[in-house]
């Protein structure tokens, strides 16, 4: 049998689990994960989202139980989305800043129940609350075309963010991709005395087909698309501009969304950002892994963990993922 005198044998560092763990360059921890959650009006018990197996629209009671389970698994933050009744939606999305609206009253319950032991993040966007399903206020341009009015929308984002802070959110997360949204929200929060409420900016949010199942989750009323304000999947430099603008305007975190189809963007953002960088493993990413796993085409648990590792390796400090609890349990 031949023996060769190689100067390097990298396989020496792969020979058993202990060695592989010793030299691992990237590590996942339950505290890396943020769990997106949905709470809905008009339901008496939690309701599974058909395109997102294992993910639910919650009642207040089931939400509290699910957050307790997440805390026991080591999760430190949840991101709450509200699903109002269709009858409560209007053109302005005004139920989003109503203290008794579905999102704000459940933010209050979570803060009362968990205090500072669980970081409560609120989705700060109008799309769940408008009857047209867009992330902002509609108006017409000089040619008579319907548009999403950037600056009129910022007024409503300010109202929404302040209401979320008053309800008890530790973090607000503006996701509408309106120009100047971080500066406007920071100013409104500070004016009302909420200097300690952090902002996680959806800085590089693409107009992605991977969002499909999410629209079922929030009962979206959207007609048309969001390509005039979410980013073109062809572009990268645009993301770096958006990120820098959000940092300059006071963002405490920046985010790339979706995650796996945009790992190159995530890496570039991580290289330039002086603030923590999050990535959102979105509904379509989750649904594809679940579908392949449940059909026996892939090992669901292994692919779940590999996908999360890829996001962390690409530069994410925090990962928003519907797998958060399962992944945290697997790590422990």
Per-residue pLDDT of the chain (332 residues; tens, 9 = 90+): 788 888 899 999 999 999 999 999 999 999 999 999 999 999 999 999 999 999 999 999 999 999 999 999 999 999 999 999 999 999 999 999 999 999 999 999 999 999 999 999 999 999 999 998 888 999 998 999 888 999 999 999 999 999 999 999 999 999 999 999 999 999 999 999 999 999 999 999 999 988 888 777 777 766 767 888 899 999 999 999 999 999 999 999 999 999 999 999 999 999 999 999 999 999 999 999 999 999 999 999 999 999 999 999 999 999 999 999 999 999 98
Length of the chain (residues): 332
Extended strands (E) in the chain: 33-40, 47-48, 56-58, 77-83, 119-124, 137-140, 146-149, 171-174, 198-205, 253-257, 277-281, 318-321
Is the CATH number 3.20.20.70 carried by domain 31-331?
Answer: yes
Strand 47-48 relative to strand 77-83, pairing? unpaired
Asked if residues 240 and 268 have their Cβ atoms less than 8 Å apart, the reply is: yes
How do strand 33-40 and strand 47-48 relate by DSSP bridges? unpaired
Let me know if 47 is a catalytic residue: no
Q: In this predicted model, what pLDDT tens digit does every residue of 201-222 receive, in sequence order?
A: 999 999 998 888 877 777 776 6
Catalytic residue among 257, 268, 312, 329: 257
- Return the domain boundaries, the chain: 31-331
Which of 76, 205, 268, 312 is the catalytic position? Answer: 205
Q: pTM higher than 0.85, yes or no?
A: yes
How many Cβ atoms sit within 10 Å of the Cβ of residue 298?
Answer: 16
- Whether 89 is catalytic is no
Residue with tokens 């008579």: 144
């Amino acid at each position: 049998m031949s023996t060769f005198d190689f100067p390097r044998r990298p396989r020496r560092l792969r020979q058993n689990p202990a060695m592989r763990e010793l030299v691992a360059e990237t590590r996942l921890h339950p505290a890396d994960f943020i769990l997106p959650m949905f709470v809905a009006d008009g339901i008496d018990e939690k309701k599974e989202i058909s395109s997102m197996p294992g993910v639910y629209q919650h009642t207040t009671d089931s939400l509290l139980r699910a957050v307790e389970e997440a805390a026991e698994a080591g999760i430190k933050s949840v991101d709450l989305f509200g699903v109002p009744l269709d009858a409560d939606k209007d053109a302005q999305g005004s139920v989003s800043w109503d203290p008794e609206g579905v999102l704000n009253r459940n933010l209050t319950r979570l803060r009362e129940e968990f205090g500072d032991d669980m970081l409560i993040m609120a989705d700060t966007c109008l799309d769940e609350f408008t009857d047209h399903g867009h992330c902002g206020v509609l108006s017409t341009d000089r040619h008579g075309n319907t548009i999403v009015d950037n600056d009129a929308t910022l007024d409503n984002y300010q109202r929404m963010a302040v209401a979320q802070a008053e309800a008890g959110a530790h973090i607000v997360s503006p996701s509408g991709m309106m120009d100047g949204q971080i500066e406007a929200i920071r100013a409104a929060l500070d004016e009302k005395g909420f200097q300690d409420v952090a902002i996680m900016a959806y800085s590089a949010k693409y107009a992605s087909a991977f969002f499909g199942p999410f629209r079922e989750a929030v009962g979206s009323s959207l007609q048309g698309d969001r390509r005039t304000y979410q980013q073109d999947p062809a572009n990268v430099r645009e993301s770096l501009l958006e990120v820098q603008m959000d940092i300059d305007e006071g963002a405490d975190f920046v985010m790339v969304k979706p995650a796996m189809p945009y790992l190159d963007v995530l890496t570039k953002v991580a290289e330039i950002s002086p603030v923590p960088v999050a990535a959102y493993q979105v509904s379509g990413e989750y649904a594809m892994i679940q579908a392949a796993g449940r059909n026996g085409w892939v090992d669901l648990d292994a692919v779940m963990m590999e996908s999360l590792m890829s996001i962390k390796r690409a530069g994410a400090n925090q990962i928003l993922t519907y797998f958060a609890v399962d992944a945290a349990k697997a790590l422990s």
